[in-house]
């Protein structure tokens, strides 16, 4: 067995494990029972918080549980089938399939990292940790595999990236302004940040400001300077962006429908971002296909 076959088999195994665990993590919250008697608690900062109060997410706030359930549904109905399709394409030596699979590994890594650190401890905590770890190594192995793919040089020479760079800058700036505005407002007024609920810190904001925002600007620079790594990470981050923003839009809609917070403004903003993300996803994949033809 040559190195390429070993790499393909490793990625395949990691993909299957991530898919199976994601399905379990998405279904278990829907079938677990149990209910807490007192659904109103004081947070660490002294604010009253209403708990979801039932099932796996009983100890999470009502708002965060609704968001988690919405993301579970997106993962189960959209992301898992997409990952299976991407895996089949990857096994057939499709470079587009490889980009899609890498980006979905990125979605899974982000999702289960946030669950591991954000959700109140529950009976499938170790599954969150497992999928976070498996997704991380799947993502890394896929990036290494793409770096060895001869098609990347062809894509680098032929693919136009101006639209993708504009979109990445837009995402980076939008995320930075959205989260830093919330944080600075709480610091200036010495208040608890909006959305903290019964958590102790802003996990999603830390992940976005620490990883996603810098990645948007770094990848934009790499694409502009025709660096090979930019043509690997650029298509990957657009896959991750499209999948994750779909989950965020679903969360915003579910929150609004269930009176868990959110607003029509947020739905409109995330709706626009979702449309743009999928537009650039299909456009980027089309350009990759054309470059490799």
> 265: which 2 tokens?
């403004």
Neighbours of 103 (CB within 10 A): 27
Over residues 77-133, the pLDDT tens digits come to: 999 999 999 999 999 999 999 999 999 999 999 999 999 999 999 999 999 999 999
Over residues 185-201, the pLDDT tens digits come to: 999 988 888 888 888 89
> 278: which 2 tokens?
């999928």
32 closest CA partner among 81, 74, 77, 65 = 65
Distance CA 14, CA 11 (A): 5
CB 126 within 8 A of CB 119: no
Report the Cα 290 to chain-centroid distance in Å: 27
Domain count, the chain: 1
Report the Cα 81 to chain-centroid distance in Å: 16
114 closest CA partner among 226, 274, 244 = 244
Distance CA 119, CA 68 (A): 9
User: Would you write out the chain's pLDDT as a tens digit for each of its 293 residues?
Assistant: 566 678 899 999 999 999 999 999 999 999 998 888 888 888 888 888 999 999 999 999 999 999 999 999 999 999 999 999 999 999 999 999 999 999 999 999 999 999 999 999 999 999 999 999 999 999 999 999 999 998 999 999 888 899 899 999 999 998 999 899 889 999 998 888 888 888 889 999 999 999 999 999 999 999 999 999 999 999 999 999 999 999 999 998 998 888 877 778 778 888 888 999 999 999 999 989 888 86
Residues 6+ apart with CB under 8 A from 277: 167, 238, 241, 242, 245, 246
Residue indicated by tokens 């490793």: 10
Domain that holds residue 149: 3-292
Residue indicated by tokens 């999603």: 204
What integer pLDDT is reported at residue 3 of this predicted model?
Answer: 64
Inter-CA distances, 104 with 82, 176, 182, Å: 8, 23, 29
What integer pLDDT is reported at residue 2 of this predicted model?
Answer: 61
Neighbours of 275 (CB within 10 A): 12
Distance CA 205, CA 11 (A): 30
């Amino acid at each position: 067995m040559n190195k390429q076959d070993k790499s393909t088999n490793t990625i395949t195994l990691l993909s299957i494990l991530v898919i199976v665990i994601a399905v379990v993590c998405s279904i278990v919250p829907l079938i677990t029972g149990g209910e807490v008697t007192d659904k109103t608690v004081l947070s660490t900062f002294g604010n009253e918080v209403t708990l979801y109060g039932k099932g796996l997410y009983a100890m999470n706030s009502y708002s965060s549980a609704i968001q988690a359930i919405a993301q579970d549904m997106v993962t189960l109905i959209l992301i898992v089938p997409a990952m299976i399709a991407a895996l089949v394409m990857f096994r057939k030596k499709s470079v587009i399939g490889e980009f899609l699979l890498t980006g979905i590994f990125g979605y899974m890594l982000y999702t289960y990292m946030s669950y591991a650190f954000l959700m109140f401890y529950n009976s499938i905590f170790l599954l969150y940790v497992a999928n976070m770890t498996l997704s991380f190594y799947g993502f890394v192995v896929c990036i290494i595999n793409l770096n060895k793919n001869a098609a990347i040089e062809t894509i680098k020479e032929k693919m136009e990236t101006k639209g993708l760079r504009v979109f990445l800058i837009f995402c980076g700036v939008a995320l930075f302004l959205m989260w830093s505005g919330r944080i600075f407002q709480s610091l200036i007024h010495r208040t608890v940040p909006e959305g903290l609920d019964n958590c102790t810190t802003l996990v999603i904001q830390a992940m976005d400001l620490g990883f996603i925002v810098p990645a948007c600007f770094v990848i934009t620079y790499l694409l502009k300077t025709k660096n090979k790594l930019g043509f690997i990470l650029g298509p990957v981050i657009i896959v991750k962006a499209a999948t994750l923003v779909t989950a965020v839009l679903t969360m915003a809609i579910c929150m609004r429908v269930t009176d868990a917070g959110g607003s029509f403004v947020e739905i409109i903003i995330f709706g626009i971002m979702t449309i743009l993300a999928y537009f650039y996803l299909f456009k980027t994949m089309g350009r990759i296909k054309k470059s490799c033809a």
